[in-house]
Amino acid sequence: MNMKFFYIIIFLLFSQYSSLKSQVNCTVPLPPVLTSVSVRPETGNVEFTWTASPSSDIAAYLIYEYLNENGVPRGNIIDTIWNPAATTYSYANSSYKYHSTSYVIAAYRLPGIPGLDGCPSPFSNVLNTIFTSAVIDTCNKKITVGWNSYPSSPEKVTGYSILLSVNGAAFSEEQSADPGATSFTFNEFDINADYCYVVRANLEGGTVSTSNKSCISTKMLVPPVWINADYATVNTDNKITLSFSVDPASEITKFQLEKKTGTSASFLVIGNIEEVNHQILFTDNQADIEKINIYRLSAMNSCNVPVTVSNTCSNIVISLERTGDDIDLSWNAYREWLGEVSSYRLFIKTGTGFLEKAELQPVDTAYRILYTDIMYDVSGSDLCFYVSATERNNPYGLTGLSSSQLVCSVPTEVITVPNVFTPNNDLVNDFFRPVLSFTPQNYHLVISDRNGRVLFETRDFHEDWDGSQKGNTKAGGVCLWFLEVTTPSGKKISKTGTITIIKN
């Protein structure tokens, strides 16, 4: 604003006031020019500078907090500086922390008649403090610094500087902004640090006006450096149980579990989980255990954004195929431990419980069993298998163990009874016994002659008949046999037939 025009307006506004004061022999002085209002960030004091009033006989300067209520200017005096040569002033006030405040200054002249009140000048031009506030957006990792404009009169604002102090270090200029700017956004910051910002208006004459200091903490929940997928295993209820271990230094407790079925599918969220003691257990009740299901776990920050993702884990799917006497088992390799597969172990249940059948190399994903090698071990209603994988060399000292689902087959229940044998001690066909492809639950064999006399009887399916009766040699001929068997599947079978004894 043209200062000459400014003084004309002030003169007209206060002409009536001047007329009244003339009654006490006091001529209203011209106001000073307020050249700078600035906050000193270290102390919080508001610093004023001005040029002296051009009028003579100035006794003091009056500092006002300027208010404009419904277009009516008003000032609340905050101090009087009884030094006509003063052109600076420092004011301790806490309002700078909460908002921008406007100020004016007036010159004060004493009257010519002792004992009468003096007269102040009209208000000077208005200057305000710069109020700065910093807002953090942790979800998008941004800090926005905002401020109000500083007046471009009496000295033009040429631009703004954003000053930064990190963790109490000295302030340094971090960014600059155009004269019309009132905000700036920083797109990066370090977590767990204290950031303080000050905005400085750079004025054409080389002077500056600084704002308050606005500080924020970038402390965030510490995310896990690692999440270990311990295993995906099929439990005894034919559900897939998952285990994850979380970096103990993590402060995050919310996690998101995702799954995809098959290697070409997309991951879908199947659960949001609260972590307890850095260990997460979850059972997927909806999984098809005959398909490969792949899982991963993500740590979620307060913005519900994943910040750390585990390695994937998948269940082992085993399949069984029988061709004649061959039982062929195959399975997918376990994926993907942070360590490696130590070995695969194959378990078989032929009776009441599972026993380890073989330990296989990490590269093996198939195994063949001949039924004749195990048929006499079969004593249950089904023949079942599963395979398990063990981890080694995990970087966090963990050891995973994953087991497949069960695959089962019906035991072969075949009874073969010879119709001739030659008990002549030539080590060829010297004994008679029914041949079973299984271990019976119950067994009863009776051999008699044609007159019904019992020649041999046993309930032990391993026991052979040598053709004698109670140790006495039996002459050759035809005998009758009766067999009653309960198979592993619970089937009761009764058979009869004849056996011819040939003695050379």
Dump pLDDT digits (tens) for 284-318. Answer: 999 999 999 999 999 998 888 899 999 999 999 99
Going residue by residue through the chain (504 aa), what tens digit of pLDDT does each one get? 444 333 333 333 333 334 333 444 688 999 999 999 999 988 889 999 999 999 999 999 999 999 887 766 788 999 999 999 999 999 998 887 889 999 999 999 988 655 557 899 999 999 999 999 999 988 888 999 999 999 999 999 999 999 999 999 999 999 999 999 999 999 999 888 999 999 999 999 899 999 999 999 998 888 899 999 999 999 999 999 999 999 999 999 999 999 999 877 899 999 999 888 899 999 999 999 999 999 999 999 888 889 999 999 999 999 999 998 899 999 999 989 999 999 999 999 988 799 999 999 999 999 999 998 888 888 877 899 999 999 999 999 999 999 999 999 988 888 889 999 888 888 788 889 998 888 888 999 999 988 888 989 999 998 999 888 766 766 678 999 999 999 887 889 999 999 998 876
Out of 2.60.40.10, 3.40.190.10, 3.30.70.100, 1.10.10.10, the CATH code matching 3-128 is 2.60.40.10
pTM, 2 dp:
0.61
Strands 194-203 and 58-69, how do they pair?
unpaired
Count Cβ atoms within 10 A of the Cβ of residue 56 and give its class: 0-12 exposed, 13-18 middle, 19 or more buried: exposed
Structure tokens at 149: 């404009």
What 8-state DSSP symbol labels residue 275?
Answer: -
Does this chain's domain 3-128 share its CATH topology with 227-314? yes
Integer angstrom CA distances of residue 322 from 197, 355, 391, 408, 425: 76, 21, 30, 11, 39
**Would you call 180 helix, strand, or coil by DSSP?**
coil
Query: Two tokens at 45?
Result: 């004091």
Closest CA to 88 of 97, 96, 79: 79
CATH of the domain spanning 318-409: 2.60.40.10
**What is the residue extent of each domain of the chain?**
3-128, 132-217, 227-314, 318-409, 415-501
Strands 401-403 and 415-416: unpaired
The CATH number that domain 227-314 falls under is: 2.60.40.10
In one-letter notation, the amino acid at residue 361 is Q
Q: What is the pLDDT of residue 475?
A: 63
How far is 193 from 273, CA to CA, in rounded Å? 29
Matching CATH number, 132-217, of 2.60.120.560, 3.50.50.60, 2.60.40.10, 3.30.750.24: 2.60.40.10
Q: How far apart are CA 196 and CA 237, in angstroms?
A: 58
For residues 56 and 130, is the Cβ–Cβ distance under 8 A? Answer: no
Say if residues 480 and 469 touch (Cβ distance below 8 Å): no
Task: Name which of 51, 47, 49 is nearest 39 in CA terms.
Answer: 47
Cis peptide before 174 (omega within 30 of 0): no
φ, ψ at 107 (rounded to 5°)? -90, 150
Q: Residue 202: its pLDDT value, please?
A: 97
> In this structure, which long-range contacts are made by residues 267-270, counting pairs with CB atoms below 8 Å and at least 24 apart in sequence?
267/294, 267/296
What are the strands, taking DSSP E only, across 167-251? 172-177, 183-186, 194-203, 208-210, 214-217, 227-234, 240-246
Rounded to an integer, what distance in angstroms lies between the CA atom of residue 163 and that of residue 177? 11
> For residue range 331-377, what is the model confidence (pLDDT) as tens digits?
999 989 999 999 999 999 988 799 999 999 999 999 999 998 888 88
Closest CA to 37 of 139, 125, 143: 125
Task: Say if CB 11 and CB 19 are below 8 A apart.
Answer: no
Please state which CATH class domain 415-501 belongs to. Answer: mainly beta
Per DSSP, the residues of 120-179 read: EPPP---EE---EEEEEETTTTEEEEEEPPPP-SSS-EEEEEEEEEETTPPPEEEEEE-T
With contact defined as beta carbons under 8 Å apart, do 181 and 166 qualify?
A: no
